[in-house]
Amino acid sequence: MSLESLEVNVFMIVREIQKKDNEQIAKVIRDVFIADGYPKTGTAFADTQLDFMYQAYQNPKSIYFVVEENGKIIGGAGVNQLDNSTENICELQKMYFLQEARGRGIGMEIIQKCLAKATEFGYDKCYLETLPVMLNAQKLYKKVGFEYLTEALGGTGHTSCPVWMIKELKIEIE
């Protein structure tokens, strides 16, 4: 069989997390931290909710999406009310992708889904925290309208994530 005639059947979907995804998405996030050498303390790696992501996003005005390719979870991201904040601000949370998922436009697709849901939920702003070494992620965040902040908001406990960004969410009136 020649290479030209080889068909690759790739089936990728972005969908809301299901309870059965808990183990896979936790492994994806931990694998990203290990493979990329990110700090394990003061980051999402140490979050107690990591093994119970489905349950963590059952609150009103929260959602988590997973990216599934050929039956395997390869990444995800979600929004939830910003912890320890009385303002109407959500947080873009746990946006991580395995190496095989990167550079394919999946990050842009999922962040747009998250921001659309945040707007639908009625949040005024979307906040995020990230690591200084996550430069490609920061480029994506800036591309969709996030701006840098000089201090953290809320109280996420992610002390190893000293890059803070925010985006105003505007409801489009037709």
Task: Give me the number of domains the chain comprises.
Answer: 1
Q: Is residue 20 part of a domain?
A: yes
Please determine, for residue 80, whether its predicted confidence score (pLDDT) is greater than 90.
Answer: yes
H/E stretch holding 15 reads: strand 12-16
With respect to residue 56, please indicate whether it lies within any of the assigned structural domains: yes
Which residue, chain included where needed, has tokens 């910003």? 82
Q: What is the pLDDT of residues 91-148, one digit of tens each?
A: 999 999 999 999 999 999 999 999 999 999 999 999 999 999 999 999 999 999 999 9
Mean pLDDT of the chain: 91
128 to 4, 80, 93, 95, 157: CA distances (angstroms): 44, 11, 7, 10, 13
> What does the pLDDT read at residue 173?
57
- pLDDT, one tens digit per residue, over 133-166 is 999 999 999 999 999 999 999 988 888 899 999 9
Answer whether residue 58 is part of any domain. Answer: yes
87 DSSP assignment: S
Give CA–CA dist 127/166, Å, rounded. Answer: 4
Work out the percent of the chain whose per-residue pLDDT is above 70. Answer: 92
pLDDT of res. 50: 93
- Distance (Å, rounded) from C-alpha 146 to C-alpha 148? 7
Span of 8-17, 60-69, 87-96, 146-155 with lowest mean pLDDT: 8-17
In a domain, 75, yes or no: yes
Instruction: Give me the amino acid identity at 124.
Output: D
Residue ranges in 61-165 assigned as alpha helix (H): 106-121, 135-143
pLDDT higher than 70, residue 10: no
pLDDT of 6 over the 70 cut: no
The upper half-sphere exposure of residue 116, i.e. CA atoms within 13 Å in the direction of its Cβ, equals 7
Residue 6 lies in a domain: no
pTM greater than the 0.85 cutoff: yes
Asked, for residue 68, whether it belongs to a domain, the answer is yes
Whether 174 maps to a domain, the answer reads no
Domain membership flag for residue 5: no
Q: Residue 141 sits in which domain range? A: 11-168
Q: What pLDDT score does 109 carry?
A: 95
Q: What is the CATH number of the domain that holds 60?
A: 3.40.630.30
